[in-house]
Amino acid sequence: MIAKLIGTILIMAACLGCATTITSPTPTAKPIDVNAFSSQVPPGGSASREFTLVTGGNVGVTLTSTTPADTVLGLGLGIPRSDGSCALSNAVATTAGNSAQLALNADGGLFCVKVYDPGGLTAPVAFTLAISRP
């Protein structure tokens, strides 16, 4: 009887001693990211989005379509300011096409792409663009 009791106590101790604490996985913040987006540029206005580069490399931005077609828009790459606006490093004025109209080498980090009225829009222009990255 005593032996059974001691055995039970030891087994319980073993269970307690070896108990593994299971912790919840730490939630990982979802990176701000876009690979493509569509929006509108009003006269005198702009639209921008942020994206993350995990590693450095070449970033290409392609204005794939505009409505109306053949509208010239400003297309720029830069980094987001603390107020959320996009500080442009480089930009081009371009119509839609199939290959990247703007390409830059960049280190890893948070960046932004901005589409804007280069001057002369009289009505909102819808567009779609794609971002290629390492």
Interface with another protein in residues 48-87 (CB under 8 A): 56, 59, 74, 76-79, 81-82, 87
Q: By CB under 8 A, is residue 34 in contact with another protein?
A: no
Shortest separation between residue 79's beta carbon and another protein, angstroms: 5
Taken as a whole, the chain contains a residue count of: 134
Shortest separation between residue 127's beta carbon and another protein, angstroms: 18
Q: By CB under 8 A, is residue 18 in contact with another protein?
A: yes
Site string for another protein, 100-119 (x = CB under 8 A): ----xxxx-xxx----x---
Measured CA to CA, the distance from residue 46 to residue 70 in angstroms comes to 18
Measured CA to CA, the distance from residue 67 to residue 41 in angstroms comes to 10
The beta-strand segments (E) located in 1-134 are 36-41, 46-53, 57-67, 73-80, 86-94, 102-106, 109-116, 125-132
Q: Which three-class secondary structure state does DSSP give residue 15?
A: helix
By CB under 8 A, name the binding residues for another protein. Answer: 2-4, 6-7, 10-11, 13-15, 17-18, 20, 56, 59, 74, 76-79, 81-82, 87-91, 104-107, 109-111, 116
